[in-house]
Structure 1
Amino acid sequence: MNSVGVLQASGHSRVHIGNVYNEVVPVPERSETPPRPSFTIPFRRDDNFVERKTILDRIHRASSAPASRVALVGLGGVGKSQLAIEHAYRVRDRFRKQNKEIWAFWVHAGTRARVEEGFNAIADAAKIPGRNQPKADILQLVYQWLHNERNGQWLMVLDSADDVNVFYGTDEKVKQTATIGEGMRPLWTYLPQSSNGSILITTRDKELAFKLTGDHRNLIEVGPMDQDHALTLLVTKSGPQYNKDEGTKLVEELEYMPLAISQAAAYIVQRAPLRPIDPDKSYDYETSANNESYERNG
């Protein structure tokens, strides 16, 4: 006598009679209660953030337009990522003051694989139906979900979008990193422009920034800090370890770059208990700071 049974795995059912297996229609996904909007920025707010009000005001104004795309453009280390983080928290605060909620997503855009990883995280956070199907096109599912105004307001940060080939390329490297089911559709086509959302991009590539935003007026160039902001950052991060002249000389040597100043301050704080700063001795802060490992490069 033949045995009959049903196996269920990966959303599909298979009927077997003896040693014969036949594929049947996929098992419907269990319905999930749509979650409330969540704030998924993976970095804590910097309590010692130094106000660069002109830049933050420009980001706020440009991002307030429906379906906005804004790009922060500048060299590595000028503080683009920190500005994006602070902007995201301020957007959340403004919504909370109005008793409203907003989705906030962070997508590392250095490679196609990292972008896909970020979209997968969005799909999971929003519990997008269909995401667990074996051949789910996650990029398309997220694109459609973001386009649906019923899902609420959202902000997406595309951080470190420095390689034009990640979004527009079709070379062999991109082909090898594309996942099954997503084909070779360029990544830029999965970035929605809908009235319920905005995208903030950080990049070193001005040409890519223009291609992604489509408007030079939405490019905000971020340069080194001015001297006052640089000194404030140094004192805030390290404490009053020296007089103004010494601090001025140090931030000048570090070319007023926020990342370098933060690294130097971290070195000072770490070493200060064991090696009090001697104003008559020269310290190579820049070399020491460059040896530190940091996840974000500004």
Structure 2
Amino acid sequence: MVARARAMLAMRGIISFARGVDFVKRGTLLNELCKKCALLNASHAVVGLGGAGKSQLAIEHAYRTREQSPETWVFWAIAGRQDPQANIFKLVYDWLHDSKERWLLVLDNVDDARFLLDVQAYGPGQAADSRSAARLLRDYLPYCERGLVLITTRNKEAALKLVEQRDIITVAPMDEAQAQALFEKKLGVQRDNSDVTELAAALEYMPLAIVQAAAYISQSAPRCSVAQYLEEFRRSDGEKTSLLDHEAGHLRRDREAKNSIIITW
């Protein structure tokens, strides 16, 4: 059973999302995250508005961890999801806690930490032993000298239920230069393009909104230019929602990622 559990987790010891080839460095944010995460036996949280780029920052850090420390296991979990047929919380906890290897566990999208304060639920046919029956889900987050837990969330209150204030990294929207650089990578336009500058400002320099706008423009070309998109976007709140709800078709995270920018707006 132990061997089977290790084999299953070993297969999951991969980063769940492709690396962003158009990743734009956000000042010192990535360096700050890497510096904090250099210390093991700790938890850190990346906090910011939906669509601000929290998960992309975590994805880039995860890949850099893999490059710089190939022996480190990297696990990715979407908060609030579990397999009712398996006590995955305990499985992951036992494997990471007992592992002799270094590891990084990314707990993505912890926007409501209350579920971590619930008692572990068991699926059909499962039985809770006396030691684990009353354990909170939060207790299954492993802390040991070889590991690190990295959390992403829109909710600072949720983050503070899991980490200390000093362990929080705040992700704000991009600045103008960063937003224009992202548009340039996505659309191949020059940074001095006035329409791009105006559209980046209209999108409030939010990375996810920029990615979705660029995808819409690219897929609609030549029928839709940056200027035409900007005109439609400014027309009404309904147009904004419709444009931001565009399915880019290549987003690396699930639909919740796309919805987060609509909620933010």
Quickly name the TM-score band, shorter chain normalised.
Answer: 0.7 to 0.9
How many Å apart are 1:87 and its aligned residue? 0.7
- Asked whether 1:248 is paired with 2:248, we answer no
Instruction: Give the counterpart letter for 2:97 in structure 1.
Output: H
Following the alignment from structure 1 to structure 2, what is the Cα–Cα distance between the partners of residues 242 and 91?
31
Equivalent pair of 2:113/2:161 in contact (CA under 8 Å): no
How many Å apart are 1:184 and its aligned residue? 4.8
Alignment match, 1:62:
36
Q: Residues 70-126 of structure 1: CA distance to partner in whole angstroms, max 9, x if unpaired?
A: 100111110111111111001001014xxxx221111000x2xx1x34xx9xxxxxx
Equivalent pair of 1:225/1:257 in contact (CA under 8 Å): yes
- Asked whether 1:87 is paired with 2:61, we answer yes
**From 95, 107, 123, the counterpart of 1:158:** 107
Paired residues in the alignment total 239
How many Å apart are 1:137 and its aligned residue? 4.5
Q: 1:34 to 1:260 in 2, by over 3 A?
A: closer
Q: Residues 231-261 of structure 1: CA distance to partner in whole angstroms, max 9, x if unpaired?
A: 1111111221785321111111111111111
After the TM superposition, which of the residue ranges 237-246 and 204-213 deviates more from structure 2? Answer: 237-246
**From 171, 190, 204, the counterpart of 2:154:** 204
How many Å apart are 1:169 and its aligned residue? 3.8
Give the gaps of 5 or more residues in structure 2: 235-239, 261-265
Q: TM-score, normalised by structure 2?
A: 0.79
Aligned-pair RMSD on alpha carbons?
A: 3.0
Query: Which aligned pairs between 1:83-162 and structure 2 lie closer than 5 A?
Result: 83-96=57-70, 101-109=71-79, 111=80, 114=81, 116-117=82-83, 137-150=87-100, 152-162=101-111
**From 128, 136, 140, the counterpart of 1:190:** 140
Q: 1:34 to 1:147 in 2, by over 3 A?
A: closer
Q: 1:30 to 1:81 in 2, by over 3 A?
A: closer
Q: 1:224 to 1:277 in 2, by over 3 A?
A: closer
Q: Secondary structure at the match of 1:283?
A: helix
Alignment match, 2:185:
236
How many Å apart are 1:34 and its aligned residue? 5.9
Larger radius of gyration: 1
Q: Residues 199-254 of structure 1: CA distance to partner in whole angstroms, max 9, x if unpaired?
A: 110011212212212x2111011111111101111111122178532111111111
Query: Which aligned pairs between 1:71-82 and structure 2 lie closer than 5 A?
Result: 71-82=45-56
Q: TM-score, normalised by structure 1?
A: 0.71
Alignment match, 1:7:
none
Following the alignment from structure 1 to structure 2, what is the Cα–Cα distance between the partners of residues 199 and 274?
46
How many Å apart are 1:263 and its aligned residue? 0.6
Alignment match, 2:263:
none
Equivalent pair of 2:93/2:141 in contact (CA under 8 Å): yes
Q: 1:258 to 1:275 in 2, by over 3 A?
A: closer
Alignment match, 1:290:
244
Higher share of residues assigned strand = 1
Q: Secondary structure at the match of 1:90?
A: helix
Following the alignment from structure 2 to structure 1, what is the Cα–Cα distance between the partners of residues 63 and 168?
21
